[in-house]
């Protein structure tokens, strides 16, 4: 019997969507306002879900306290109040779209989740725009 356990979290971050090898005009036509050279910010919301068997002794799939600390250490401390393009190594060469950010978050967390458990991350870039990745 598998159960999905979820934890919500959030971080604020600035970014710019562009490809450095493209002209400003081409970036503007593809990324529009998101290509602002002075960056812009979002209040990102995420839902991290771990699915697995309930441990007979604890009754937990995963201890929510451990999940909270893991998200704080690996995601919030790395991304909150950061300029993603400038301050996060991976996004110096990878465009920080919602798709690429959700994959980054999943990759940061996956090594710390029990191998037999499934991991899913939902990332809201705006209240109406969100992406989902589960590996
Ligand atoms: N596939 C993607 N498309 C877009 C991404 C993305 O990450 N992946 N990102 C952006 C912008 O960064 C931003 O998220 C979009 O802003 P906006 O269109 O203003 O979104 P809103 O929800 O605020 O728009 P409303 O018109 O208020 O609904 C663009 N595309
Ligand atoms: Zn944006």
Pocket-testing residue among 125, 131, 132, ligand 1, by greatest number of atoms within 8 A of Cβ: 125
Asked if 41 and 14 touch (Cβ cutoff 8 Å), the reply is: yes
Q: Which atom of ligand 1 is nearest to the CA of 15?
A: 12
How far apart are alpha carbons 117 and 1 in whole angstroms?
12
CATH of the domain at 56: 3.30.479.10
Reported as a single tens digit per residue, the pLDDT across 45-104 is 999 999 999 999 999 999 999 999 999 999 999 999 999 999 999 999 999 999 999 999
Q: Is pTM beyond 0.90 here? A: yes
Domain that holds residue 70: 2-133
Mean pLDDT of all residues in 123-128: 98
Instruction: List, chain by chain if needed, residues with CB within 6 Å of any ligand 1 atom.
Output: 17, 34, 97-99, 125-126, 128-129
- Which residues neighbour 91 within 8 Å (Cβ) at sequence distance 6 or greater? 15, 84, 85, 100, 104
Output the CA–CA distances (angstroms, integers) from residue 129 to 26, 115, 132, in the order listed.
Answer: 23, 30, 11
- Binding-site positions read 15, 40, 42
> Quick one: what percent of the chain has pLDDT higher than 90?
100
What DSSP designation does 55 have?
Answer: P
- What the block records as the tokens of 95 is 């465009």
Reported as a single tens digit per residue, the pLDDT across 44-59 is 999 999 999 999 999 9
Length of the chain in terms of residues written? 135
Ligand 2 center–CA 111 separation, angstroms: 28
Domain count, the chain: 1
Residue 128 backbone dihedrals phi, psi, to 5 degrees: -110, -10
């Amino acid at each position: 019997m598998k159960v999905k356990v979820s934890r919500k979290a959030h971080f604020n971050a600035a970014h710019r969507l562009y490809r450095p090898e493209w002209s400003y005009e081409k970036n503007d036509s593809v990324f529009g306002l998101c290509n602002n050279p002075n960056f812009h910010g979002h209040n990102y919301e995420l839902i991290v879900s771990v699915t697995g068997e309930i441990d007979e002794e604890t009754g937990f799939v995963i201890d929510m306290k451990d999940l909270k600390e893991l998200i704080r250490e690996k995601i919030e401390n790395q991304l909150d109040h950061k300029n993603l393009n400038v301050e996060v190594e991976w996004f110096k060469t990878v465009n920080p779209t919602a798709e690429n950010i959700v994959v980054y978050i999943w990759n940061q967390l996956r090594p710390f989740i029990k191998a037999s458990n499934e991991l899913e991350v939902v990332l809201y870039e705006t209240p109406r725009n969100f992406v989902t990745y589960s590996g």
